[in-house]
Amino acid sequence: MLQCRCLHRVERDRGSGPMRARKAVLFGSRSWVSLHNVLLPLLSILIVMSAPVSLIFGATGGIGSHTARMLCQRGHLLALSSRSLPRLRQLNEQLSATGSDVSHEPELLPCDATDATAVDEVFAKAVERFGRVDRVAHCVGSILLRPLHATTDEQFRDTWKMNTWTAFLVLRAACKQMARQKGSANGERGGSVVLCSSAVASHGLPQHEAVAAAKAGVEGMARSAAASYAPQNIRVNCIAPGLTDTPMAKFITDKPAAKRASEGMHALGRIGQPEEVAAALVSLLENPFITGQTLAVDGGLSSLLSQQRA
């Protein structure tokens, strides 16, 4: 654990032999113990103050949970959100069990991200717990595989709501909070947001009209917000995955013929793994000189002619 490692370093740096003897003379063993008791909690507070605070929506999903794991391993303080508290608790247990750097218990914040008030409350609670929010990942969304003529009004609205509306609510709350922050991690102002788009926003795949429209909206909104909030050092980017092996894609990946056909559309001849997409997401969250970009993480789906045979 990050905190434990740092504390061990302090223990080690206390030294032994003559150094230790000199300290005992200076403080006496009892005063050294009380100094030890004061210094270590102080050091722990300093670690919390300097670690970035990351808030993940859709944290229990395929891409969201790998993002949580990676940020945890980097020593971030985590606020995790999705609708189901039991699944958030399960994720929390998994983070601890993998030996990740859970130096501080993540804040679990169940919320329906289609509800504006609930999203604002998640930010308020994360700030109440950690004092600020430095990084935000939006990993909520849906897929609708249906040709335009067979798409109902309700299906189109639902797809827009799950993808564009939730991204709008999260991005708006993030920009408001980050603009208020005078000094975030490393003394920088502002923060960083990554939204999930999809390869279908830029590549015309049949039967994806609703989700293509919704995700293209997410990308456009992210670019404009990146321009609006750059003066406050708030960076906004998107990742655009190809088909990725997560619960969301199960209705395709569970059918061998459909899965093979999808693999054949990706130039690399396979679908993505959630940890591959999460790694790209985390790199966009962390790189301080990238903003207003959409990074394709799609095995060539959106830009290369596939030579694979389905």
Q: Which positions lie near ligand NAP, rule CB under 6 A? A: 58-64, 82-84, 87, 112-114, 139-141, 163, 196, 198, 241, 243-244, 246-249
**113 vs 295 by CB, closer to ligand NAP:** 113
CB-closest chain residue to ligand NAP: 61
82 or 184: CB nearest ligand NAP: 82
Write down the least CB distance from residue 3 to ligand NAP, Å.
Answer: 27
Q: How far is the CB of 68 from ligand NAP (least distance, A)?
A: 10
Q: Quickly count: other Cβ atoms within 10 Å of residue 2's Cβ.
A: 18
| Nearest to ligand NAP of 100, 103 (CB atom) | 100
User: Does an H or E element contain 241, and which?
Assistant: strand 234-241
Closer residue to ligand NAP, CB minimum distance, 193 or 248: 248
Smallest gap, in angstroms, from Cβ of residue 138 to ligand NAP?
7
Structure tokens at 96: 């601890």
Which residues have C-beta within 8 Å of that of residue 308, sequence separation ≥ 6?
Answer: 263, 264, 265, 266, 267, 269
The Cα–Cα gap between 70 and 158 comes to 31
CB contact at 8 A, 64 and 58: yes
Q: Which position has the token pair 């997560």? A: 246
State the nearest-atom distance from the C-beta of 112 to ligand NAP, in Å. Answer: 5
Check: CB of residue 282 under 8 Å from CB of residue 68.
no
The CA distance from 23 to 310, in Å, is 72
Nearer to ligand NAP, 237 or 246 (CB): 246
Q: How far is the CB of 173 from ligand NAP (least distance, A)?
A: 13
Q: Which is nearer to ligand NAP, 11 or 112 (CB)?
A: 112
Q: Is the dihedral of CA 59, 60, 63, 67 positive or negative?
A: positive
Q: 61 vs 106, which CB is nearer to ligand NAP?
A: 61
What's 142's DSSP letter?
A: -
Minimum CB–partner distance for residue 199 and ligand NAP (Å)? 6
Cα(215)–Cα(164) distance, rounded to whole angstroms?
A: 7
Write down the least CB distance from residue 104 to ligand NAP, Å. Answer: 22
Helix (H, G, I), strand (E, B) or coil at 136: strand
Dist CA 263 CA 256 (whole Å): 10
